A and B are shown apart, each in its own frame.
Chain A
Amino acid sequence: MATQSLTLPVPEATAPPAKVQQPRRKFPVGKTAVTTAAAVLAVLWLIPFAWATVTAFKSETDAASPKVSWVPPSGFTVDAFAKVFQDGNIPLWTWNSLYTSAAITVITLVISALVAYALSRIDFRGKKILMTVIIASIIIPPPVLMIPLFYQMVGLRMIDTPWAIILPQVIHPAMVFVLKKFFDQIPRELEEAAVMDGATRMRIFAQIILPLSRPILAAVAIFVFISAWNNFLWPFISTNDGSILTLPVGLQTIKSAYGIQYAQNMASALLAALPLILVFLFFQRQIIKGVATTGLAGT
């Protein structure tokens, strides 16, 4: 990706000699303007992080002082973090978010890849209808389902269990579509030899299709994991018990519990933000690619 974008200035430099002067004089100015604009936006986009960080490392007195300061008068301290850890909920909520999101991601991948393979390769009766129904369901907004789904979960006695969080979140019709489109592009010849040898569909799927689909599986996994990790509305509705709250929902309770403890609020928010930001720093390329490939799933 980077190499492609770097090729863009090249045409300017190789323009015919007669016009060289104009672009040459213009180009540095343009480049400075572009860099400045990009930098201004970047600073604006980083300020909320910076301000939250500075606040989190202040004492509560400094944080609540009407004299707004980037460097607190009584120095930086980790008191707020210590207090947050003392309460002991953030690690628990992080664990809850981690295992529910992981379960959602695994189940989604398995069931979506299986149905996508059938839609891509097997000619079975009712396939067109199934495909139409799945695509049409992309349009259904989750908030429309929250009331009946809550009632259903009460009936299934799943409220306040991890199942209530996990099960309704594994249906991603758009991701089925993304996977199907990818499988469609895998040449059928690769499977023909296996078919001749009498391999079952499941073997072809597991040994030929899946290994060739690693990039798209990773992309779907990333997309599903991020949405599950950050989902608020459904986990908020389906859980009350403090011990199974996910991070986003737990943070909401902190806000009312701590009230005006600004430094502690910011410390909690930063701790909640940290895991995904760290993962992003390490897997930036994959995540960006993943979001870019699955993002336009509606097409």
Chain B
Amino acid sequence: MSSPTTTATPRSSAIAPPARIISRRRRDNINGWAFAAPFLAFFLVFLVWPLLYGFFMSMTGKSLTGANDSLIGFANYAEALADSDMWRSLGNTLYFTVISTVPLVLVALVMAALLNVGLPAQWLWRLSYFAPYLLASTVVSLFFTWMYNPQLGLINDSLSKIGLPKVAWLNDPNVAMWAIVIATLWWTVGFNFLLYLAAMQNIPAQHYEAASLDGAGAWRQFFSITLPQLAPTTVMIVLLQVLASLKIFDQVYQMTAGGPSGSTRPVVQYIFETGFTGYRLGYSAAISYIFFGLIVIVSVLQFFIARRRSA
């Protein structure tokens, strides 16, 4: 507190008495932290503390039964890095992220572009594309588990009606992840669609007027005006989508429980299982931090790619 007072005094003494300046600064300091205090309290107790405590846990052999709290250094990390199940689940998460992000961005773009042409009854289209986003994961999983049912499901029935072979959607290790991707696409594409639609409607109409005066058709306008104008939005949507996809857990846990034979189990489920089914809290905390490290790396990478693009 003393240093700002001494620097402030000589500068402003000619204008106002120093005492008032001191009190103004102090008041701002007090007010600022007072306004921040409620958020900060929750932030420290329910975010910072578990984050630090989790790191501490990852250095212990802690289990849900409370036994063995002793510090064991990085032993959990060493074990995790040699754990093929951990790598497999991490691989599943990355695989899902890659194969889900592409359709989740492209289909959203197509939906927004179609509506942006100016179809009548906008609300009806928006409702149908966006409504699934309002559902809880469990509702989505119930819907799709039922539609994917091998014998009684709507999808296999439709396939056989048009002469195609039935698919064991959630029971075939080669197909299950794609089945999850389809359900996820249906569920969350509406969110990206809304972001794209909002961005498209912010493109000034003059751009299109000028282009059509030059004789550019609808396709041409889409590729030379709409897409370039949307570039920053696309970067953001991809970034958010990748981060969201990396956290995949709900749909998989509910639809396949990670199966068949671990082919869909994502890393969050592996953390969940080592912690709550295997009772190995310390080990599970260590895997959490490896996962966190992955998220940080991906975010930083994306940030730099986005910056280079916009530069």
Contact = CB atoms under 8 A, between A and B. Distances in A.
B147 interface: yes
Interface stretch (B14-22, B97-105, B132-140, B172-180): B132-140
A196 B59 CA distance: 56
Given A5-B115, A42-B129, A272-B139, A148 B239 contact: no
A176 B39 contact: yes
Contact of B116 (A5, A23, A237): A5
B127 A118 contact: no
Nearest to B294: A141
B284 interface: yes
Contacts of A205: 35
Given A143-B268, A248-B136, A233 B143 contact: no
B249 interface: yes
Given A38-B114, A114-B36, A265-B146, A167 B46 contact: yes
Interface in B50-66: 50-51, 53-54, 57, 62
B240 A168 contact: no
A102 to B, nearest CB: 16
B114 A41 contact: yes
Contacts of A140: 47, 51, 292
Given A34-B117, A232-B136, A273-B135, 18 more contacts: A6-B118, A11-B208, A11-B213, A26-B217, A35-B119, A42-B124, A45-B186, A52-B146, A66-B151, A110-B38, A122-B28, A139-B296, A143-B272, A144-B291, A147-B275, A151-B281, A230-B135, A288-B194
B152 interface: yes
22 contacts: A7-B205, A15-B212, A41-B114, A48-B143, A52-B142, A52-B143, A55-B146, A111-B38, A139-B296, A142-B247, A143-B247, A145-B288, A146-B275, A147-B54, A148-B285, A149-B46, A233-B268, A251-B139, A255-B141, A262-B146, A268-B142, A284-B127
A7 B204 CA distance: 10
Contact of A143 (B42, B119, B291): B291
Interface in A106-129: 107, 110-112, 114-115, 117-119, 122-127
Contacts of A286: none
Interface string B217-232: 1100000000000000
B139 A273 contact: yes
A207 interface: no
B7 interface: no
Contacts of B125: 38, 42
Please give me the 10 A-B residue pairs with the lowest Cβ-Cβ distance, nearest first.
Answer: A124-B32, A148-B54, A118-B35, A248-B136, A292-B198, A68-B157, A115-B39, A251-B138, A148-B50, A111-B39
Interface in B20-51: 28-36, 38-40, 42-43, 45-47, 49-51
A184 interface: no
A147 B285 contact: yes
B139 A299 contact: no
Contacts of B80: none
A149 B288 CA distance: 12
A291 B119 contact: no
Interface string B168-209: 000000000000000000100001001101101100010011
B195 A296 contact: yes
Contacts, number: 306
Given A11-B205, A42-B128, A288-B130, A16 B213 contact: yes
Contacts of A262: 146, 152
A19 B57 CA distance: 72
Interface in A1-40: 1-2, 4-12, 15-16, 19, 23, 26, 30-31, 34-35, 37-38
Contacts of B33: 118, 124, 126
A71 interface: no
Contacts of B124: 42
Interface string A145-185: 11111111000000000000001101101001000000000
A171 B42 contact: yes
Contacts of A141: 243, 246-247, 291-292, 295
Contacts of A233: 249-250, 268, 272
Interface in B252-277: 254, 268, 271-272, 275-276
B251 to A, nearest CB: 9
A137 B43 contact: yes
Interface of A: 1-2, 4-12, 15-16, 19, 23, 26, 30-31, 34-35, 37-38, 41-42, 45-49, 51-52, 55, 63-66, 68, 107, 110-112, 114-115, 117-119, 122-127, 130, 134, 137, 139-152, 167-168, 170-171, 173, 176, 201, 205, 226, 229-230, 232-233, 237, 247-249, 251-252, 255, 262, 265-266, 268-269, 272-273, 276-277, 280-281, 284, 288, 291-292, 295-296, 298-299
B289 interface: yes
B123 interface: yes
Contacts of A114: 35-36, 38-39
A173 B276 CA distance: 28
Nearest to A143: B268
A142 B51 CA distance: 10
